[in-house]
């Protein structure tokens, strides 16, 4: 499998997930990467400068030139506004990982669930046999998103990951969830 087999846009009822562009950086910074509330449970440090976000978006753009998937920006299908990001990252052709983040104004509207269902559908169509994700052990909303998308809870991994915005310098337990074709 290569990125040429991965569609650059995924369309759902209310969303379009699309390949990132360099000029998305300002929006990403202003709407979530710099927001402490959004960054709380993320594995990356909150962006304190636009320069950091520009590097990240640049890396997303480069990633799409490779063979192992990449980030998608989540946009409002009606307006085109960017409301968050997700990803489809291949570890090998049968194994992929994902994650999701939405700007605060759009929480609680079912968008993370709708977006993750689109990523699951992509995984299914490409013959991926396992799509997995982690969340902080107390992040109930994120766990609920995965459960609603037919991910199975596989266990609590001890001292697995640092959450730099929540407990810098410490490693924290995470919940491991995975979707497999049999689950849907």
Ligand X SMILES: CC(C)(COP(=O)(O)OP(=O)(O)OC[C@H]1O[C@@H](n2cnc3c(N)ncnc32)[C@H](O)[C@@H]1OP(=O)(O)O)[C@@H](O)C(=O)NCCC(=O)NCCS
Q: How far is the CB of 110 from ligand X (least distance, A)?
A: 4
Nearer of residues 1 and 166 to ligand X, judged by Cβ = 166
To ligand X, the closest distance from the beta carbon of 144 in angstroms equals: 4
Place of tokens 């929540």: 166
Question: Which residue, 111 or 151, is less far from ligand X as judged by CB?
Answer: 111
Residues 6+ apart with CB under 8 A from 45: 39, 164, 165
Given the complex with ligand X, which of 25 and 112 has the nearer CB atom? 112
Contact residues: ligand X, CB under 6 A: 38, 41-42, 99-102, 107-113, 135, 139, 141-142, 144-145, 148
Burial class (CB in 10 A: 0-12, 13-18, 19+), 14: middle
- Shortest reach from residue 134's CB to ligand X, in Å: 7
Residue 182, token pair as written in the block: 């049999």
Question: Which residues are paired to 151 by β-bridges?
Answer: none
3 vs 12 by CB, closer to ligand X: 12
Of 21 and 109, nearer to ligand X (C-beta) is 109
Distance CA 32, CA 45 (A): 12
| Structural Rg of the chain based on CA atoms | 16
Interaxial angle between packed helices 140-148 and 111-125, expressed in degrees from 0 to 180 and rounded to the nearest 10: 50
For the CB of residue 163, give the shortest distance to ligand X in the complex, in Å. Answer: 10
- For 51, residues 6+ apart whose C-beta sits below 8 A from its C-beta are none
Q: How far is the CB of 139 from ligand X (least distance, A)?
A: 6
């Amino acid at each position: 499998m290569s990125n040429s087999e991965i569609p650059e846009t995924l369309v759902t009822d209310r969303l379009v997930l699309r390949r990132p562009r360099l000029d998305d950086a300002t929006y990403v910074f202003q709407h979530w990467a710099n927001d402490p509330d959004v960054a709380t449970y993320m594995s990356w440090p909150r962006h304190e400068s636009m320069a950091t976000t520009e590097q990240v978006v640049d890396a997303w753009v480069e990633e799409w030139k490779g063979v192992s998937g990449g980030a998608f920006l989540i946009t409002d299908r009606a307006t085109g506004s960017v409301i968050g990001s997700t990803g489809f990252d291949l570890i090998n052709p049968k194994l992929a990982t994902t994650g999701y983040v939405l700007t605060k104004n759009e929480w609680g509207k079912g968008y993370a669930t709708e977006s993750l269902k689109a990523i699951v559908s992509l995984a299914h169509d490409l013959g991926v046999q396992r799509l997995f994700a982690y969340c902080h052990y107390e992040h109930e909303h994120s766990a609920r998103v995965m459960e609603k998308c037919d991910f199975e809870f596989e266990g609590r991994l001890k001292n697995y990951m640092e959450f730099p915005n929540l407990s810098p310098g410490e490693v924290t337990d995470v919940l491991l969830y995975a979707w497999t074709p049999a689950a849907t």
